[in-house]
Every structure is written in structure tokens, then in C-alpha cells.
């Protein structure tokens, strides 16, 4: 966000894991914490209590689309549009944040014929929308948010074809 919209943060490091960071938020040691939608909306602590008590305010979403559970929280991409961020900054954000939108994709080698890819994608979407699977996921508090293979492929192609300037900015951002 510093690179794309000019936000200024004092990054605090050294917490060994998420639960320690959550405690730091509750103690007031830090004022901001980033995590995934699925973690925030899970039925586990401390997020359940945080939501019930209004303890936190969600400032920004980093996904390509707004999560419907946060209809009044803008995405980084919406803010970049509003601020007229450069194309290079928008590309950098997409490159850095693509992992959140890609999730945990199921992949196949490049030589698989298109007709088989189509069959695999259809079978996956049918399986992931199976009522028994969804009921089991609900019981186990597992969030299922499938994205079509076509959408994932388009995102992967976009991420893999960034101009060298954007790649260099990312390397600099990650200290490489």
C-alpha cells in the first residue's frame, strides 16, 4: 500500500505467529493487522469476538472484488482508481497480491489438451458445489469460495506477463 497509494506504515516485526500478532492488537501494541477474509470470517477466536464487539474496523480489501460481507470496505484497486495510481503501480499490486486471488489452485501440465481441461474444470466445479461437500465444509467451518479455471488462468497469464519495470519494483519491494 505504501508503493501503490502512498500509505505510510511503521512495520513491526518479530511476532512469531498470528496468535501473537492478534494479542499485540488486543494489547494496543500495534494498530493494524492484515489477514485473509477466511480467517477474519471464521468462527474462531479472536475474530468471532472482534466482530461481535466491533473491536476492529476493516480498512481495505486486497482482493480483486469486494467480499460481499464487507460491502462498504473498498478494495485497494478501487482506491488506486480513485487516486489515479499509475498503471505500473496497479500492475505491481496485482503481481504482489495475486496469491490471495489465486488461492490454492489445482493445476495441470501445459500439454493437456483443451477438451480435457474443459472436462476437468467442469468436474471440479460440479464436485465443489456438491451439497454433501458443502454441508461437511459448513460443519468443519471451512470456507469454500471456488473460482473458475478460466478466471484463474486469465489471472495467471496477466501475472506472468508483467513488464520488467514492474518485476524490478517487486524485487526492490521484497529486498532482492
- Residue 174: DSSP 8-state: T
> 97, 91, 104: which is closest to 147 by C-alpha?
104
Residue 145 to residue 161: CA distance in whole angstroms: 26
Q: What is the pLDDT of residue 50?
A: 94
DSSP assignments along 108-161, one per residue? --TTS-HHHHHHHHHHHHHHHT-HHHHHHHHHTT-------HHHHHHHHHHHHT
Is the distance from CB of 80 to CB of 97 less than 8 angstroms? Answer: no
Is the distance from CB of 89 to CB of 142 less than 8 angstroms? Answer: no
Residue 49: Cβ within 10 Å count? 11
Domain range summary for the chain, segments of one domain joined by +: 1-85
Q: What is the pLDDT of residue 145?
A: 82
pTM higher than 0.95 for the full model? Answer: no
Q: What is the pLDDT of residue 138?
A: 87
Residue 155 to residue 134: CA distance in whole angstroms: 26
Q: What is the pLDDT of residue 19?
A: 92
Residue 89 to residue 51: CA distance in whole angstroms: 32
Q: What is the pLDDT of residue 72?
A: 96
DSSP assignments along 41-93, one per residue? TSSSTTHHHHHHHT------B-SSS--TT-TTS-BHHHHHHHTT--HHHHHHH
Q: What is the pLDDT of residue 141?
A: 78
Residue 127: Cβ within 10 Å count? 10
Q: What is the pLDDT of residue 55?
A: 95
Q: What is the pLDDT of residue 39?
A: 83
Per-residue pLDDT of the chain (176 residues; tens, 9 = 90+): 888 888 898 888 899 999 999 999 999 999 999 888 888 888 789 999 999 999 999 999 998 889 999 999 999 999 999 999 999 999 999 888 888 888 888 889 989 999 999 999 999 999 999 999 999 988 887 888 888 999 999 999 988 999 999 999 988 888 87
Amino acid at each position: 500500500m505504501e508503493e501503490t497509494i502512498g500509505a505510510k506504515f511503521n512495520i513491526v516485526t518479530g511476532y512469531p505467529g498470528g496468535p501473537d500478532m492478534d494479542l499485540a492488537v488486543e494489547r494496543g501494541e500495534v494498530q493494524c493487522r492484515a489477514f485473509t477474509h477466511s480467517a477474519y470470517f471464521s468462527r474462531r477466536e479472536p475474530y468471532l469476538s472482534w466482530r461481535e464487539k466491533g473491536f476492529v474496523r476493516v480498512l481495505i480489501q486486497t482482493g480483486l472484488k469486494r467480499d460481499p460481507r464487507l460491502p462498504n470496505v473498498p478494495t485497494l484497486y478501487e482506491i488506486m482508481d480513485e487516486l489515479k495510481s499509475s498503471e505500473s503501480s496497479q500492475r505491481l499490486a496485482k503481481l504482489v497480491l495475486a496469491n490471495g486471488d489465486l488461492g490454492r489452485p489445482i493445476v495441470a501440465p501445459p500439454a493437456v489438451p483443451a477438451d480435457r481441461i474443459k472436462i476437468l474444470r467442469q468436474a471440479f466445479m460440479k464436485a465443489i458445489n456438491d451439497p454433501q461437500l458443502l454441508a461437511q465444509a459448513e460443519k468443519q467451518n471451512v470456507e469454500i469460495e471456488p473460482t473458475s479455471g478460466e478466471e484463474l488462468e486469465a489471472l495467471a497469464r496477466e501475472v506472468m506477463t508483467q513488464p520488467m519495470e514492474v518485476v524490478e519494483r517487486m524485487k526492490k519491494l521484497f529486498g532482492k
